[in-house]
Structure 1
Amino acid sequence: MTATTGRPWTSTSGRWVKAPAPSFAHLARLSDDTGLFEHARHAIVRREHGYCTDDVARGLVVVSREPEPSEELLRLAERYLAFLTHAQDTGGAFRNRLGHDRRWADEPGLGDWWGRALWGLGTAIARSPAPWVREEALVAFSRGASRRAKAPHTMAFAGLGAAEVLRRHPGHVAAASLLADAAAAVGRAGSDPRWPWPRQELTYANAALAEVVIAASQLREGGPPLDDGLRMLSWLRDVQLRDGRLSVVPARGWRHGAVRLHHDQQPIEVAAFADACATAATVTGDPAWDAGVRQAVGWFLGDNDLGTPMWDPATGGGYDGLTAHGPNLNQGAESTLALISTLQHARRWS
């Protein structure tokens, strides 16, 4: 795909198409008065699988990113925020799984859902136009920001939330400390140009690790070198290009020295890459990073290994994965949120 600048267009199968505005129709279809259902068969909700904090937090991220949200989106933000505050305990940890019977299936913990909850809360604090949403999110974020997880991915998600908080509250001490600790948990980029990644394996939402290092480099004190995050993201971009198209690391991951597979590719990987490239473009002022965002948008529109669209224009839902034989046509919450968040970045060129 050939990148251009200044136009909200992306190449797919050798032609240029305009990136559509993100649709929230399927997100509304997956939501009820409690939260956001995790799974769907095709476009129909599977209520038996219930809700998870992971997806509700991601839902709060995307609705908070809308610059002029409708009343419906504001109500979704309130609903998702209420879910997260209900999931949080007094010590700042979160439960993750709630059944359709409204009973929690787990105890509060500090897994990825804790990190994503802080990401959602931080985004609401920074971007929601509703003061009552921002105020309640700040209470919950401040409680959760006192905790620390061991896993680098978990810390990266939490750090992205902390970076959002600092955009509105630059003096928020807990957010600054959390962001610095998140970058430290990710680690420094390696010196080997063939594998500068700080870990020996690429797993999931990989670009989020590079993004949090880039965001933390902007801290006045304790931030890592910006070049570390940019080298990580540049390398990840290069190894995920195949014939000029984005071909992300599959769900099974890729270990240093092993044969890399190309399926099944997950929408969350594409969305994380789009987020990181958008952050890199904002921090550096270098429009070359917009090419990565365009490649991510193109992946959903059909500029991928199989040349097939990864969303359903009729429903607004994103397909759950790109397999060797085509899309997984189920339209669950994670894939739909990945689609929405990626298309939101197309506004950079409008």
Structure 2
Amino acid sequence: MSAADPGFRHLLRMSDDTGLFEHARHAVVRRDHGYCTDDVARGLIVASREPRPARRLTRLAECYLAFLTHAQDRSGAFRNRLTFDRHWSEPPGVGDWWGRAMWGLGTAAARNAIPWIRDEALHAFVLGAEQRSPYPRAMAFAGLGAAEVLRTRTDNTVAASLLMDAVEAIGAPSEDPSWPWPQPHLTYANAALAEVIIAAGDLSDDRQLLTTGLRMLSWLSDIQTRDGLLAVVPATGWRQDTPRDRYDQQPIEVAALADACATAAYVTGDDAWQERVRRSVAWFQGANDAGVPMWDPATGGGYDGLTEHGPNLNQGAESTIALISTMQHAGRLS
């Protein structure tokens, strides 16, 4: 492992035989905050993306899959938060955690190197696909899982239906050329919305839908680039026709943009999208508004946010997985 590669060291540190802890104080796990389905699903995604996983990474995927199947009820909904003493603190639902669980299960069903994990993940995905969420982002995350399934199982009607319902939930972008987006504000994981539309257009051979998604992503990428550097919409979000804050920039935004641009590169074969993936990689390496690296080489952990005073040095699960996910794309760049 090179000094430039965070690997899975901190993800292993943040995990136990139950799941993945949500928070850390610097690199030290905050067990009192417990686990959440959101982050376990993210962990399953990055573990399943590795084509030749080491044994301990396979064990992580097994653990994360077991957590998600335990979180899922008979209707296909998911519980989100599990305390350290293994008690669910919330009832099953279809919020963002349902969408991310579906994304994780879809990715594992399509990409995991272990056949039985693929089979079990698909079983849980199909059950979860009986549900729909009223929240566009939850539907977008679930749609990304459906797209993963369809890339390897083109005749899976359950995944196809979920993917198109996700497109409908996201909605059509505004006709305003200065804001070609389905909503009047940008909040979190924004690029996921464009990525779903791109994937749906490609998988359904709908050129108009594909063009719409690419146009959305191009605009989002352009407005988040300043002087050649990535400067993502901060945690406070950004509403049309209002001033935009510079900080607190979140790693999840960078990772979502890298994912979407990598999908665009795969679908179109256009190397310009790979260059946009490189901007996300560079953001973690220090090509950002503060000029500082956004991860700790000593631990392999990703910092929790870019503030006006520099990095938030806490290394939670979401930020660490955002780092790993983006660096996985870096390893595939030509």
After TM superposition, the score normalised by the length of structure 2 is 0.98
Distance 1:207 1:200 in 2: 15
Distance 1:169 1:311 in 2: 36
Distance 2:176 2:316 in 1: 38
* Residue of structure 2 in register with 1:327 after alignment: 311
1:58 aligns with 2:39: no
Task: From the superposition, tell whether residues 232 and 133 of structure 1 become closer, same or farther in structure 2 (CA, over 3 Å).
Answer: same
One-letter code aligned to 2:78? F
Distance 2:167 2:207 in 1: 8
Distance 1:265 1:176 in 2: 34
Deviation at 1:22, TM superposition (A): 4.2
The sequence identity of aligned pairs, in percent, is 69
Distance 1:19 1:341 in 2: 17
1:283 aligns with 2:262: no
Question: Highest relative contact order (Cα 8 Å, sep 6+), 1 or 2?
Answer: 1
1:79 aligns with 2:63: yes
* Residue of structure 2 in register with 1:195 after alignment: 179
One-letter code aligned to 2:224? Q
* Residue of structure 2 in register with 1:5 after alignment: none
Deviation at 1:218, TM superposition (A): 1.9
Deviation at 1:168, TM superposition (A): 1.4
Distance 1:132 1:276 in 2: 28
Q: Alignment partner for residue 106 of structure 1, among 68, 77, 90?
A: 90
Alignment of 1:1-350 (within 5 A): 20-220=4-204, 225-349=209-333
8 Å CA contact retained: 2:224, 2:232: yes
SS at match of 1:327: strand
Distance 1:223 1:171 in 2: 20
* Residue of structure 2 in register with 1:14 after alignment: none
**Corresponding residue pairs, total:** 333
One-letter code aligned to 1:319? Y
RMSD: 1.3
SS at match of 1:217: helix
Task: From the superposition, tell whether residues 113 and 94 of structure 1 become closer, same or farther in structure 2 (CA, over 3 Å).
Answer: same
Task: From the superposition, tell whether residues 224 and 162 of structure 1 become closer, same or farther in structure 2 (CA, over 3 Å).
Answer: farther
SS at match of 1:304: coil
Distance 2:321 2:236 in 1: 21
Distance 1:264 1:346 in 2: 24
8 Å CA contact retained: 1:155, 1:182: yes
Deviations 1:29-85 (A, max 9, x none): 000000000000000000000000000000000000011100000000000000000
Structure 1 stretches lacking a partner, 5+ long:
1-17
